[in-house]
Chains A and B, each alone.
Chain A
């Protein structure tokens, strides 16, 4: 599989950010904030880290990705389109009648999405089940699962955290997009989840703490997780919600709201530089 250089990845991240604001603006709704915070994690994963074949979605050996925080499907759709699962033009059909790109991802409608999601807290359990199936079938694929920090308030997440450690599922790599914002405010104000690293460690996970917008750190974290045997790994990525768009950064209100025409222009200028 071709992997991108750091410079190429940086450019890809800009395109993915551009896709996110454009497709949610076209839809008139959607979740740009938490999509933008996960751009580096997702771009590196789909372009460099995961072993997958966009032209052969059912390839049994493929690494799996489970989007537990289903509402940030704009970032998933963008990296899928740009790695060849479907056309980039199709991104603009997001959330419209008849589109494969549902408001929250549907595995029945969009090949390449492993499982439908949108009700929070469920993805890590699914990742664990896939890991157990791989163990029984003697398959070596890895399973990545993206969770939001607010999502960690769901009790099922911690059930699954226990299960992965109990069964020593080292093929499982959880990604926490730690942007510290949720709909009603900061995560710590709404229902605190800190200290995250200590929590996951005490549940017998290998923890890797990074700046989630530093691609070198992101790539190194994926590699460290891959090398970790005997226990599951979690990458706790400190991020900025709305990253890349000046007026969205660290504003909870941009969790589930799309840009109007004027805002979209500012957003694209922020992402690509004015005049580009």
Chain B
């Protein structure tokens, strides 16, 4: 069976168009990457509410802050690596400390950016945003969820970071699926081990679930689309019931989803955890598929991590 493939940044573009039509306060900013981030879809339909700031991310975030002070709901958009890195101080001091209603969209999250190489692969953005007080962080798993996350971000007060991916990836959620910021979705029930994932790698977790099932292992799969505020209840329930956890993300294991989940576990219910993600290294050029294999981000790696964590659990 072939599955539909779409880049989840397309979901961002569709979400913006819908917001443009339904909420006159929504404005969109970009830093010379509007075609790539899909913010140009909004610009085409609502040109008077779109502002290109040129290649000046810090100024873009400050301008977005000012627009929010004037009552607008700005979506400041560029690649995740630039928006969270280059403009981090602007996000921290101007936006988060003042608790401004600025939405920040980071396209090209993860190593799957591919041939552009390490400079353009955002692998630290979740950590950089998660550490900031008042910030909410979302990592949608496919284009359908990306659209929902975009629309949801406009409906909540305060700063949000949305991470999108460049490559076409499987679309496996549906319009009718429930989505709420801070509420994880349990995609597969299971009692032996739990896989908690975010972003397009959730699909690899689903594939791993099938492989594990064939081995007689029942793996729960959780789509943790919101990293902050983290759905602690679903994590603790998984720890209680399956007593072993694998996290999977296209991000440094330090500071990202794996860390966020572990922080909850060590304080409340310590169980063995294995982390799939980037292991304290930069990326490189290659096809997304090659890179996923080389950096151990595919279903088979999740299966191996599940077996490892099961062995630790039984000790």
The answer to whether B48 and A156 have CB atoms under 8 Å apart is no
User: Does chain A have a CB within 8 A of B62?
Assistant: yes
B67 to A, closest residue via Cβ:
A129
A160 to B, closest residue via Cβ:
B59
Give the docked Cα–Cα distance between A136 and B50 (Å). 11
Give the docked Cα–Cα distance between A127 and B98 (Å). 15
- Nearest Cβ on chain B to A68's Cβ, whole angstroms: 10
- Nearest Cβ on chain A to B92's Cβ, whole angstroms: 8
- Nearest Cβ on chain A to B74's Cβ, whole angstroms: 8
The answer to whether B70 and A163 have CB atoms under 8 Å apart is no
A-B contact pairs, 18 of them (CB 8 A): A64-B69, A106-B97, A115-B65, A116-B97, A117-B94, A119-B94, A122-B94, A125-B59, A126-B62, A126-B63, A130-B66, A132-B70, A134-B70, A155-B58, A160-B59, A162-B54, A163-B54, A163-B56
- Nearest Cβ on chain B to A151's Cβ, whole angstroms: 13
> Given A117-B93, A117-B94, A136-B49, are A128 and B70 neighbors across the interface (CB < 8 Å)?
no
User: Does chain A have a CB within 8 A of B71?
Assistant: yes
B134 to A, closest residue via Cβ:
A108
A125 to B, closest residue via Cβ:
B62
Report which of B59, B71, B72, B99 forms a contact with A159, defined as CB distance below 8 A.
Answer: B59
Binding site for A on B (CB under 8 A): 27, 48-49, 51, 53-54, 56, 58-72, 74, 89-90, 92-94, 97-100
The answer to whether A116 and B67 have CB atoms under 8 Å apart is no
The answer to whether B56 and A128 have CB atoms under 8 Å apart is no
The answer to whether B65 and A162 have CB atoms under 8 Å apart is no
State the 5 A-B residue pairs at the shortest beta-carbon distance, nearest first: A129-B66, A133-B70, A125-B62, A159-B59, A159-B56
Residues of B near A64 (CB, < 8 A) are: 69
B66 to A, closest residue via Cβ:
A129
Tell me the dominant secondary structure on chain A's binding face.
Answer: helix
Give the docked Cα–Cα distance between A35 and B56 (Å). 30
User: Does chain B have a CB within 8 A of A114?
Assistant: yes
Binding site for B on A (CB under 8 A): 64, 106-108, 114-119, 121-134, 136-137, 139, 155-156, 159-160, 162-163, 166-167
B52 to A, closest residue via Cβ:
A166
The answer to whether A130 and B67 have CB atoms under 8 Å apart is yes
The answer to whether B69 and A130 have CB atoms under 8 Å apart is yes
Residues of B near A106 (CB, < 8 A) are: 97-98
Residues of B near A108 (CB, < 8 A) are: 97-99
> Given A108-B99, A160-B62, A163-B59, are A129 and B68 neighbors across the interface (CB < 8 Å)?
yes
B65 to A, closest residue via Cβ:
A126
Residues of A near B67 (CB, < 8 A) are: 129-130, 132-133
- Nearest Cβ on chain A to B185's Cβ, whole angstroms: 33
The answer to whether B90 and A122 have CB atoms under 8 Å apart is yes
The answer to whether A129 and B97 have CB atoms under 8 Å apart is no
Residues of A near B72 (CB, < 8 A) are: 133, 136
Residues of A near B93 (CB, < 8 A) are: 116-119, 122
- Nearest Cβ on chain B to A147's Cβ, whole angstroms: 13
Give the docked Cα–Cα distance between A156 and B97 (Å). 19
Residues of A near B89 (CB, < 8 A) are: 119, 122
Give the docked Cα–Cα distance between A112 and B128 (Å). 30
Residues of B near A160 (CB, < 8 A) are: 59, 62-63
B76 to A, closest residue via Cβ:
A129
Give the docked Cα–Cα distance between A64 and B90 (Å). 20
> Given A106-B97, A163-B53, are A115 and B69 neighbors across the interface (CB < 8 Å)?
yes
- Nearest Cβ on chain B to A16's Cβ, whole angstroms: 25
- Nearest Cβ on chain B to A231's Cβ, whole angstroms: 17
- Nearest Cβ on chain A to B115's Cβ, whole angstroms: 29
Residues of A near B70 (CB, < 8 A) are: 129-130, 132-134, 136-137, 139
B51 to A, closest residue via Cβ:
A132
The answer to whether A129 and B56 have CB atoms under 8 Å apart is no
